Every structure is written in C-alpha cells, then in structure tokens.
Structure 1
Amino acid sequence: MNWRVVPAAEFLAQPELQERWRSLHRASAGSPLLAPEFAAATLAVFGNGDQQLAWREVDGQTDVMAVLTPSRLGAWNTFQPSQAPVGLWLQRDARPRSASLPALLRALPGPALMLGLTQCDPMLMERPADGGVTRTMDYIDTARVTLPASFEAYWEGRGKNLRTNLRKQRKRLQDDGVATRLQASRAAHEMAAAVQDYGRLEGAGWKARDGTAVAGDNAQGRFYRTLLESFAAMDAACVYRYFIGDRLAAMDLCIEGGDCIVVLKTAYDESFGKVLSPALLMREEATRAIIEAGRFARIEFYGRVMEWHLRWTDEVRVMYHLNAYRWPWIGRLHGR
C-alpha cells in the first residue's frame, strides 16, 4: 500500500498515467469534476511545474489518485484553481482514507508536514471524524436537484412565488410579441464560439468590473475552451444559450458524467434589470429539457448556496476541508 509520487507534468505526457486515472474514475462515483479530462485541462492551463501526481495501490488496484501542490513550507494541498469546484482527489469509493495520509506526506518531496484536502464533497468522500492525524472544518453549503420522473412533478414542488413570477414574465413577453429560445450546443467544434459568447456576456457585467470575467484570450477562457472541447468529444458537454428576441440573454456552461450534469458557470445580460430574469427563465426551460431527456439523476450546482438556489431545490449539503498531519503533535499545534 505504498504511495507513488511523480511530477504532475508526467500526467500530461504519459498516456498510461491518464489511463490509470480513467480506470479509477470508471470504478468510482464517476463525478465529471474528477474525470481525467478535467484534471488534464486544469494542469495544462493552471499548472506551474510544482504540482505532483500521487497514487496508491491496494491489492494490485489503484485506490487513490491525486494532484497535489505545495502551499507553504512544509504544507501541501490538493491542486484546485478557483475554476475547479473540488480538489483533484479521486478515490475508488467514498470511505475516508485518513489512515493512509501520513504515509503520503512521507512520500512527498521536501519536509511535508501537513496536507490539506480542499473542498471535499461528502458524496465523493465521507467526512471522517477528527482524530490524531486528521481534522476537518466546514467549507460551504452547496445545492443539488434530484430529478423526478416528470418536469410537472418537479415544478409543482417549487415555491408559488417562483412559478408565478416566471409565468408573469412569460406572459409579458408573449403580449409584447417577443419570442424566447433555448439553444443547446454539444459538438466540440462549437465550444470555442460558445466560450467567446460567454465571455462577451460575462464581460458586460459586474465580473468585468472586478476583473474576474471569462474572456476568450485569458486563462479562464483557455481553460473552459479546453475543458468543454475535451468533454464534448465524449458527448459529455452542453452549453445552453437563452435568447430573448434576438438578444443573447443568458448562458450555462455544463459538463456531464455518471448520473449528473454539473452547471459550471452561469452568466446573464444584466441590462434586463428587474423587468426580466433571463437566468431563471433559462433554468426553467433547461431543467425541463434535462428531465424530459431522462439521462441524469441530478443537477449539481456546487459553489456557495445562494438565495436563488433555494428556489430550485431544498437539497443542501456541507462541503468540507480536511487537514492531515504527519504526526499527531503537529495537528495539536496547528489546532492551537
């Protein structure tokens, strides 16, 4: 049950390492956020050469794979740029691997004293009890929608205010002779234009003022293009565009895998102001299309729960951070 650690650049260069990750991913819960294509896109765009790829074998089978990065002297974290909703830690099943983490610290280069597993999803790794070498802490609440058999059953369970508000908006558009249209793009050759459109939409809003908007020529834009093209090649990406009249009003960037679809990014035209809610109108139609297609068991939003999430679902779970220590006394010192 020894750990192997190599520079993560080898993951991009050696197909056998990607296949090792792919085989483990197939045996796991299959989250698209931990697919080899997601790991590869993250490393290709945001890796700086400091990252390490680690894996452990148990009884001849790969049990865990992870991409780790140094954070400060003696400390490592799972590699997780802000575009990744969870840290790059993939394991065969959801049982905690706490007992194996001190051995991983001994295998990492340098004086590795502490390892942080960031933004852990309890659906993918059960939250362990605090012990001698591990401590956990709450991160955020996040939301999902478990999909029923019919959209009507789902919609009837939503709040009256949401249903009434969107019905009034649709009636106003109909009275004004303004048509709406939901467009879904799934082909790899469509993704570059989709990211450009998304960047223009987000770049006209508050994220541009904060300097955090996606653009076709920045690192975020390169990441989402690389990611969506690789997932689309597997028929596992979907970009929703929502038009109000001839105007592009809202967009979702989504990836798929296992039994879920993950909404990675949402943007909308803020110039509609308080008269219309383009993102909510789009989400109603997209949710209907997803349920009627019958391919998925749930929609995952990740990210911190916002007020609008709670209009769409009552299902909230707590994501957490896990710290592991090479020796128990380091954990006690860090706790103080």
Structure 2
Amino acid sequence: MDSLESPELEVCCLKPLDGALPLDAWQGLSEVSLDPNPFFSPSFLRPLLKEMNGESVRLIAVRNKTTGEWRMAAPVGRRRLGLALPVQTAWATDYSPLGTPLLHPEAGPETPELFLKAAAGPGKVLAVPYLPLTSETAQRMLEAGGGRIVVTAQSERACHTGGRQGEEQFKTAFSGKRRKEMNRLLRRLGEHGETRFESLQGASAREGFETFLDLEAAGWKGRSGTALKSRPETAAFARQAIANSAERNALRIDRLWAGDKLVAALVLFSERGSVFAWKIAFDEDYARYSPGAQLVLETFRKNLEIPGFSLADSLAIPGHSMIEPLWRGRLETGMLLVAFGAAAKLRQDLCLADMAAERFLRSAARSLRDRLKTA
C-alpha cells in the first residue's frame, strides 16, 4: 500500500492479529472514540478474525507521527456489495452490524480524509455499511474532502434513548393494553415458579454466558445451525470476546427466571453511556408468556437507570416484530459509498447498479418461493 501522510499524521495498514501490534494505542482509541463501537475494539475484533478466517482483513489506522497516538481506525476487507463487484469495505458483519470507525474527538478534518483514501485502496472505492447517519463520526466523514461520497442502503432499526425522551418512549411502549397483557403473562409465568429479573456483570457475566449458549442452542437457532454453539469457531470467538469484555466491565447479561428455570437471556455490550443488544435467547416451552418481550422491556427499564446513559442500539433488522413495538426510538443507518479519482462517479454508479441487481434477484426469488408454497 502506498504511504499516505500529512505533516503531522501517517496512515498504517496493519494486520489485526499481528503479535507486535500496539494494542494499547488501539484500545485507547476505542475507549475515547466519538461514537462507541465495541465491535471494532481489539477485545472483540481479534477473536472474531482469528476464529472466522479473517486473515485478509487489515486495520487501517491514522496516527500521530510524534506521539504514536491513534486518531482513527477501522478494519477493512474486500468483498462483494452486490452480485459481482468486490470493493474495500469496513468489516461490519452479521456478528457485528455496526460500521462506525473509531475516531478521536480531537481529530482534525484531515484525519477522516486520510483514512478514507487509504481504506479505499488501489480500487479507489470504500463502502462503510451499517453506519448510524446522525452520528458525529458519520458527519465528519461526509464532510471529508478529496472524494465523492453518496449514501445508500438507508434503513431504520429499533433503539431507545435516555433521559426524559427515553422515559417517554418507555411509557408509550409499556402502557394501556400492552401493559395489562404483559403483566398478565408475567403472572401466568409465575405459576411455573417465582419470576425474577437479574443483571450479570464482570466475572458473573462471563460465567452466565455459558448458560446463554445452552439456551440459544436449545431453540430454533440450534435446530437451524445458526446458534453460536453450533460451530466450534463461532463458540470459540464468542467466548473469547465475551471474556475480554467482561474483564473490562463492558458486558452485561440480563436474565429472566421462573423459579430455577432460565426462560430468557439478553447479552449486551456497553460503552460510555451506549448499550448494544447483541444476542437474545429464550426457552420456547415458555413462548406463550412472551419471555423475550418481557426481558427487553426490563432491559429498557434498567438502561434508563444507568448514570450518563444516552442510547441503546437493538442491532436488530429493520421491522423486527418483537423489539420495534417496545423500543420506540429509531436509529437511521446507511452505507457510505466513497470513491476517488476522475472516474469516481462511474465507480459509484457501477456499485449501485450491482447492489440493485442483487436486490432485484432476491425479491424475484422470494416471490417465486411464495408462489410455489401456495401452488
């Protein structure tokens, strides 16, 4: 990779799993970044890449030449956006659907410009998916010079805020008929044993994660082979990422019990007033009591009690039938498609057409499948 630098800054293309990597500098940036992203921290990303064949992913870091302090960083790899065209992409995945790069609050405007140019690589195109568009980091990248930026793949997913607005969101979600019905279902669940909610943190959360893995594997995800415990590599990555976060006290597991029976569990990462709902599981034998919804509401309540709490991101797909009626806020996300050079617009148009073709074929396949089901 060609060297990119300014009088004060330089860009490095690093192997995230390199034993000589300055982990303190990386972790330090993660802990102060404008917008938290636990999935781009070394505690999560290194286990993910180690166990999930991420050897080709590189960490693009902008750092101060004199002090060595990191000013911006994100993992980047090459993959298809649509049917055919591979481009450089910020490494957000199904296990980490948040593409916000780590950006130092004191970074100047040249920092995102250098980062974007370096991350785009020889192909001169970079995609940053699953990016909260109202975040400060997104705004600074949109204002960066030197490239052509378009926003695509926009959608909204469930979230909730803190403070007075969050309290109002909770009252709206847990009022009227829903409140009456949820209380009735919780009483019915209590017929199987006294119900109680609990939150685990630190070492107890690490231990509780094993119970979560068993609960998830016993349900539909286990039957479909998508539970974390279904494959050795996903179980190994998850255990290490959880252990790392628990050690930093950046992990919480909320649980609902009926007597001595665990009926629902929710794994959350927390970073400086932000909470990220990573994985949820429930015992399907108790599905008629809506244990997942019961726990999500309790998590909402607990989040509002956290000093300095500002945002809970569900990380859920848009339109999620369980969480959207309960977490009433909406987080607008999109993909930044950044291109450089004289043919920047052409490169972007080709990428957009490729993505549109994939969406069309997926829609056609779903329609055909639905017709075959009803034939």
TM-score (norm 1): 0.83
Partner of 2:179: 163
Aligned-pair distance for 1:229? Answer: 0.9
Answer yes or no: is 1:271 the counterpart of 2:277: no
Please list, as runs of the form range in 1=range in 2, the aligned pairs for 1:214-229 lying within 5 A after superposition: 214-215=228-229, 218-229=232-243
Return the match for 2:77 from 69, 83, 100: 69
Whole-angstrom CA distance in 1 between matches of 2:89 and 2:20: 23
Please give the per-residue CA displacement for 1:276-300, whole angstroms capped at 9, x wherever unaligned.
Answer: 1011222233333333353523322
Stretch deviating more after TM superposition (221-230 or 284-293):
284-293
Between stretches 19-28 and 222-231, larger displacement belongs to 19-28
Cα deviation for residue 233 of structure 1 reads 0.8
What is the DSSP-based 3-state SS (H/G/I as helix, E as strand, rest coil) of the residue aligned with 1:167? helix
After alignment, is 65-74 or 232-241 more displaced? 65-74
**Aligned AA for 1:37?**
S
In structure 2, what is the equivalent of residue 53 of structure 1?
A: 59
- Structure 1 residues 42 and 139, CA, compared in 2 at 3 Å: closer, same or farther? farther
The CA distance in 2 between the partners of 1:146 and 1:233, in whole Å, is 26
Q: Is the 8 A contact 2:201 2:251 kept in 1?
A: yes
Once residues 54 and 294 of structure 2 are traced to their aligned partners in structure 1, the CA distance between those partners, rounded to angstroms, is 40
Over 3 Å counting, the alpha-carbon distance change for 1:27 and 1:235 in structure 2 is closer
2:303 is aligned with 1:290: yes
Aligned identity (percent) is: 18
> Of 328, 331, 336, which aligns to 1:322?
336
- Report what 2:254 is aligned to: 240
- Paired residue type of 2:238: Y
2:123 paired with 1:115: no
Q: Indicate which of 75, 84, 107 corresponds to 2:96.
A: 84
Whether contact under 8 Å (1:29, 1:258) holds in the other structure is no
1:144 and 2:152 correspond: no
User: 1:179-225 CA deviation, whole Å, 9 max, x = no partner?
Assistant: 1122322233652x433322222223222333211217622222221
1:188 to 194, 203, 212: 203
Q: Deviations over 1:210-262 (max 9, x none)?
A: 32112176222222211111111122211122112332111101111111221
Does the C-alpha gap of structure 1 residues 295 and 245 become closer, same or farther in structure 2, counting only changes over 3 Å? farther
Higher deviation after alignment, 253-262 or 311-320: 311-320
In structure 2, what is the Cα distance between the partners aligned to 1:77 and 1:126? Answer: 15
Q: Name the CA distance, whole Å, in 2 between partners of 1:282 and 1:74.
A: 40
Cα distance between partner residues in 2 of 1:144 and 1:219:
30
| 8 Å CA contact 2:158, 2:327 repeated in 1 | yes
Q: Aligned-pair distance for 1:134?
A: 2.3
* Aligned counterpart in structure 2 of residue 259 of structure 1, from 246, 264, 273: 273
The equivalent residue for 1:7 is 15
Out of 291, 310, 313, the position equivalent to 1:300 is: 313
Distance 1:179 1:78, change over 3 A: same
- Return the letter of the residue paired with 1:70: R
Correspondence 1:27 to 2:27: no
Letter in 2 for 1:304: I
- TM-score (structure 2 length as normaliser): 0.75
Q: Secondary structure at the match of 2:229?
A: coil
The residue aligned with 1:281 is 294
Q: Distance in 2 between matches of 1:190 and 1:265?
A: 14
Instruction: Identify the residue that residue 36 of structure 1 maps to in structure 2.
Output: 42
Tell whether the 8 Å contact from 2:262 to 2:283 is kept in structure 1 after alignment.
Answer: yes
- State how far apart, in whole Å, the 1-side matches of 2:125 and 2:73 are: 18
Aligned to 1:327, what secondary structure does the other structure show? Answer: coil
Aligned-CA RMSD value: 3.2
Letter in 2 for 1:167: N
Distance in 1 separating the partners of 2:143 and 2:249? 39
Q: Aligned residue pairs: how many?
A: 327
Contact 1:188 1:228 in 2 (8 A): no
Which deviates further from its counterpart, 73-82 or 114-123?
73-82
Structure 1 residue 155 displacement after superposition: 4.2
